[in-house]
Amino acid sequence: MALISCKNLTLAYEGKSVLTDLSFDVKQGDYLCIVGENGSGKSTLMKSLLGLLKPASGEIVYGDGLRQNEIGYLPQQTEIQRDFPASVWEVVISGTLGKRGLKPFYSAKDKALAKKNMQLLSIDKIKRQSYQNLSGGQQQRVLLARAMCATTSMLLLDEPVAGLDPVVTAEMYKIIKELNDNGTTVIMISHDIAAAAEYASHILHLHNKHLFYGTKEEYIFSDFYCKFCGGDKK
């Protein structure tokens, strides 16, 4: 059974239709990259998957025990968020809040999970530093560690390499791929179609409707890849 199954989905924002008749599945271990131009509905779809926006029609079905509050989410950063006055440790461990319910304090399990994810992303040595004083790449690692604290199965990443230099971008793509290789299902919004074709297992290409959904191999041989990447079919 799919972790997420979207069936004949129509999404609207402020009364205006954004996406229509969209159907696709995300299975355990998939690495789905959602691509498309600005305004094509990518962020609206992400909000719907998180339960923040109700579909105008159709349905989103969650399977294999997946719950919305157990999906790790890394949003696009704003300037205000970059100046957030908290320590690295405080930001990372806050990712466990969605699973804690009404418990007032972090448990030993929460702390152990935060420590583990910080070590995985090589940010444990800066845990006492202020988030706002970090480089863009370090901040993204912190936010990714926070998202990992919210989930054992699925990450939703909204433009995780936006604004990063090429070296740090390559590092982030490598980290995300390693997480996927180790069993975490990934759904990522990206403008980088070439990188999507390299790292993802599946591609969903949007333009206010379902232009393409399939494996990356199918996508590379499609007219859509040729058109948007300016190349010839392989």
- Residue 234, pLDDT > 80, answer no
Residue 88 included in any domain:
yes
Tally of domains in the chain: 1
HSE at residue 92, side-chain half, CA atoms within 13 A, is 32
Structural domain containing residue 126: 27-53+64-229
- Residue 221, pLDDT > 60, answer yes
Residue 11 included in any domain:
no
Residues 94, 142: Cα–Cα separation, whole Å:
11
| pLDDT recorded at residue 76 | 82
Residue 7 included in any domain:
no
Integer CA distances (angstroms), 52 to 39, 55, 83, 164, 215, in order: 18, 10, 25, 27, 27
- Residue 227, pLDDT > 80, answer no
Residue 224 included in any domain:
yes
Residues 99, 170: Cα–Cα separation, whole Å:
31
Query: Beta strand 31-35 with 185-189: parallel, antiparallel or unpaired?
Result: parallel
Q: With CA atoms as reference, report the closest residue to 61 among 49, 73, 53, 70.
A: 49
Q: 225 or 219: whose pLDDT is higher?
A: 219
Q: Judge whether 130 and 86 are in contact, CB under 8 Å.
A: yes
Residue 6 included in any domain:
no
Residue 114 included in any domain:
yes
The per-residue pLDDT for range 82-121, each reduced to its tens digit, is 777 899 999 999 999 876 666 778 899 999 999 999 999 9
The per-residue pLDDT for range 33-56, each reduced to its tens digit, is 999 888 788 889 999 999 888 999
The per-residue pLDDT for range 56-79, each reduced to its tens digit, is 999 999 987 787 777 899 988 766
Q: What is the mean pLDDT of the chain?
A: 87
Residue 15 included in any domain:
no
Output the domain CATH number for residue 47. 3.40.50.300
Residue 3 included in any domain:
no
- Residue 129, pLDDT > 70, answer yes
Q: pLDDT category, 195, cuts 50, 70, 90?
A: confident
Indicate the angle between helix axes 136-149 and 166-181, nearest 10 degrees: 20
